[in-house]
Structure 1
Amino acid sequence: MRLLYLGDVVGRSGRDAVQEHLPALRKSLKLDAVIVCGENAAHGFGINIRIVQDMLEMGVDVITLGNHAWDQREILPYIDKQPRLIRPANFPPGTPGRGSVIHVTERGRKVLVIQVMGRLFMDPLDDPFQVLEAELARHPLRAAVDAIVVDVHAEATSEKAAIGHFCDGRVTLVVGSHTHVPTADHAIFPGGTAYQSDAGMCGDYDSVIGMRKEGATQRFVRKLPGEKLIPAEGPGTLCGLFVESDDATGLARRVEPVRLGGRLSQVMPVL
C-alpha cells in the first residue's frame, strides 16, 4: 500500500501548495491514501468547514488537527458529523469528535489513522501512550486493518521518538507534526515502522514557521505584544512523507520525504 502524509497546512500558501501538487502526486505515486494535518489551514489558526470540504475534494482522505483544533468555533458542532476529520485522541472524554478513523481505500484496504498530542511543553492532556495502547489493542495491524498511521502532534522530538519506538512493529508509520520544520531523520525502525520526527509544513518558508517574519521576529526582539501573527503568503512548499508498506505484514518497506515548490530543496520519490 502507498501512503502520503502531508505536514501542517498553514494559510492560503499551504492550501494552494496542496491543491497544486496533490492531484499529480496521487497519480504518479499511485497513492492509496492521503492524510493531511489541517490545523493551521484557516489563516494560520484552526480549520473551517469550507476548507475541510475543499481538501476532501482535492483528494485528501483524512484530515488531522492538533492544539489549534477549536480556533474556528464552527468546527465544534461539525466535527461529529465529519468522520474524516479527527482531533487528538488523548483529549479528555466528552470532547467533540474522535481521535481515530478507519479509512477504506478504493481497493478495499483499511487504513487506521490515529492522532495523539504530546504533553512536553504543551497542554497536559491524557497519556498518549495509554491511549495508543488501547487503540492498537482494538485494531491490531493485519488482523483488523491493513495499515496504521500515527500522527504525533508535539513539540519535543524526544517525545515523538519515544512514541515511535513504543509503536515500532505495531504500526506502519509514526510521523510528527506541529513544529513546521521538516526533519532529516526519516527511517524504518528495527521492527518495521516508518518514522520521521516532523514532516514539515505546507506553506511559505520565507517566514517564521509559516507566519510573516517581520511581526513574528519583533515578538522576540522587543518582548512586547505585537501585531497579530499573519500567515506569510509567498509561494508555498508542499512537505510530507511517502511510505510504501508490505501487504503481507502492514509494515513499512520504504519511506521517503516529499518536498515540492517554494524555497526548499526539491525531493520527489520515484516509483
Structure 2
Amino acid sequence: MRILFLGDIVGRAGREAVMVSLPGLRRTLRLDLVVVNGENASHGFGLSPAIAQDLFAAGADIVTLGNHAWDRKDLIGHIDAEPRIIRPANYPPGTPGQGSALVTLVDGRKALVINVMGRQFMDALDDPFRAVADILARHRLGVTVQAVVVDIHAEASSEKWAMGHVLDGRASLVVGTHTHTPTADHRILPGGTAFQTDAGMCGDYDSVIGMGKDAAIARFLRRMPGERLQPAEGQASLAGIMVETDDATGLARRVAPLRMGGLLAPTTPDF
C-alpha cells in the first residue's frame, strides 16, 4: 500500500496548496491512501465542515485533528456524522466523534488510521498509549488490516519517539504532528514501522509556525497578549511523509519525506 501523510494544514495558504497539489500527487505517486492533519485548516484554528469537504474532494481519505479540534463549534455537531474526520482517541468517554477510522480501498484492502494526542506540555487527556492499545486490540496488522497509520499530535519529541518504539511492528507508520516543523529523522524502526518525529506543516514558512510574524514575535517580546494571531498568507510549502508497505505484513518497505513549494528545499519520494 502506498500511503501519504501530510502535516498540519495551516490557514488558507496551506489548504489551497493541498487542494491544488493533492490530485496530481495521487496520480503521480500512485497513492492508495492519503491522510492529512486538518486541525489548523480553518483560519489557523480548528476545522470547519465545509473545509473538510474541500479536502476530501481534493483527494484526502482521512482528516485527523488535535488540540484545536473544538475551536470550530460547527464541527461538534458534524463530526459524529462524518467518520472520515477523527479526533484524538484519548479524549474522555462521551466526547463527540471517533479516534480511529477504518478505510476500505476500492480493491478491498483495509487501512486503520488512529489519532491520539500527547500529554507532555499539552492538555491533560487520557493515556494515549493505552488508547492506541485498546484500538489495536480489535485489529491485527497484516491480517484484518493491511496498514495502520498513527498520528500522534504532541509537543514533546520524547513522547513521539516513545510511541514509535511502543508500536514498532504493530503499525505501518507512526508520525508526529503539532510542532509545524518537519524533522529529518524519517526511518524504518527495527520492527518494521516507519517513523518521523514531526511531519511539518502545510503552510507559509515565512512565519512563526504558520502565523504572521509580527503579532507572534510581539507576544514573545512583550509577554503580553496582543492582537489575535492570523495565519501567514504567503506561498505555502507542503510537508509530509510517504510510506510503501508490504500488504502481507503491513510493515513498511520504504519511507521518504515529501516537501514541495514555498521556502523549503524540495524533495519528492522516488518510489
2:32 is matched with which residue? Answer: 32
Q: 1:269 Cα shift? A: 1.0
Hey, what does 1:19 align to over in structure 2? Answer: 19
Aligned to 1:156: 156
One-letter identity of the residue aligned with 1:125: L
CA distance in 1, matches of 2:228, 2:136: 41
Equivalent-residue separation in structure 2 for 1:248 and 1:89 (angstroms): 27
1:5 corresponding residue in structure 2? 5
Alignment-mate amino acid for residue 220 of structure 1: F
Pair 1:142 & 2:132 matched: no
RMSD, matched Cα:
0.6
- For 1:130, the aligned partner's letter is R
Amino acid of the structure 1 residue aligned with 2:129: F
Q: Does structure 1 residue 234 correspond to structure 2 residue 217?
A: no
Shift of residue 19 of structure 1? 1.3
Please give the alpha-carbon distance, in whole angstroms, between the structure 1 residues aligned to 2:107 and 2:24. Answer: 19
The Cα offsets for residues 213-246 of structure 1, whole Å up to 9 and x where unpaired, read as: 0100010011111110000000000100000001
Shift of 1:247: 1.5
Aligned residues with identical type, % of pairs: 62
Q: Deviations over 1:89-125 (max 9, x none)?
A: 0000000000000011122210100000000000111
Deviations 1:16-35 (A, max 9, x none): 11012111110111000000
Task: For 1:134 and 1:49, locate their aligned partners in 2 and report how far apart those are by CA, in whole Å.
Answer: 28
Q: Secondary structure at the match of 2:17?
A: helix
Alignment correspondent of 1:176: 176
Gaps of 5+ in 2: none
TM-score by length of 1: 0.99
Counterpart of 1:9, as a letter, is I
Partner AA of 1:33 in structure 2:
L
Could you list the structure 1 runs, at least 4 aligned residues long, displaced by more than 6 angstroms after superposition.
none
* Alignment correspondent of 2:225: 225
Return the letter of the residue paired with 1:203.
G
1:208 alignment partner AA: V
Contact 2:20 2:58 in 1 (8 A): no
1:143 CA displacement: 1.9
Residue of structure 1 equivalent to 2:81: 81
Moved more, 148-157 or 19-28: 19-28
Does the CA-based 8 Å contact 1:44-1:231 persist in structure 2? yes
Q: How does 1:50-65 map to 2 (within 5 A)?
A: 50-65=50-65
The Cα offsets for residues 52-78 of structure 1, whole Å up to 9 and x where unpaired, read as 110000000000010000000000010
Counterpart code for 1:197: T
Distance, in Å, in 1 between the alignment partners of 2:226 and 2:71 is: 20
Show structure 1 runs of 5+ residues with no match: none
Q: Distance in 2 between matches of 1:148 and 1:247?
A: 11
Whole-angstrom distance in 1 between the partners of 2:221 and 2:241: 34
**Counterpart-to-counterpart distance in 2, 1:106 and 1:6:** 22
* 8 Å Cα contact 1:32-1:106 kept in structure 2: no
SS at match of 2:201: coil
- Write the letter of the residue equivalent to 1:178: H
Distance (Å, rounded) in 1 between the aligned partners of 2:172 and 2:40:
25
Deviation at 1:134, TM superposition (A): 1.1
Aligned length: 271
Q: Distance in 2 between matches of 1:121 and 1:88?
A: 16
Match of 1:213 in 2: 213
Q: CA–CA distance in 1 between the matches of 2:142 and 2:256? A: 23
* 1:108 aligned onto 2:131: no
Asked if the contact 1:148/1:172 (under 8 Å) is kept, the reply is yes
Amino acid at match of 1:217: I
